[in-house]
Every structure is written in C-alpha cells, then in structure tokens.
Amino acid sequence: LKQSIWKELERLKNDEHKTILITTHVMDEAERCDNLAMLREGKIIASGTPAALKTQYGVQTFDEVFLKIVGEL
C-alpha cells in the first residue's frame, strides 16, 4: 500500500505538475521528498534538500541528520 501511495504521489508531481505537501515522522519517507523542513516545537530547525542536509551535517543517513540537529539544540 505504501509503495502504491508513493507511486501515485510521484505521478501527480511529474505528470500533473502538482505540489504535494507531506507530513511524516518517518525519516525514510522524508528523504524521498524534493525539499523539506524539519520542525520541532512548532519551529523550523532545518530545511533544504535531503542530500544538502546530509552534506551540511556530514552524515550518511537522514536519521543521523535529525539526531545531529536535535543534539545541537
């Protein structure tokens, strides 16, 4: 089911040029997004592309991005 939902979201984005807003606590889902903003207590704590955030924080996985950001707060 999850795979079919993501396929449909990608189709809407690519074929119909729709902008899609996704909220999730699942980091592997967040990593599939083109751009993202991470929130904590209602404030944006990081934003950018998943690749740029991994580079910025010097980590390999997107889970590590979140852990590193939270550790800095």
Residues 4, 25: Cα–Cα separation, whole Å: 19
Q: For residue range 24-56, what is the model confidence (pLDDT) as tens digits?
A: 999 889 999 999 999 989 999 999 999 999 999
Give yes or no for a contact between 53 and 33, defined as CB atoms under 8 angstroms apart.
Answer: no
Alpha helices in 16-61 (DSSP H): 27-30, 50-57
Residue 10 confidence class, pLDDT cut points 50, 70, 90: very high
Alpha helices in the chain (DSSP H): 2-15, 27-30, 50-57, 62-72
pLDDT of residue 71: 86
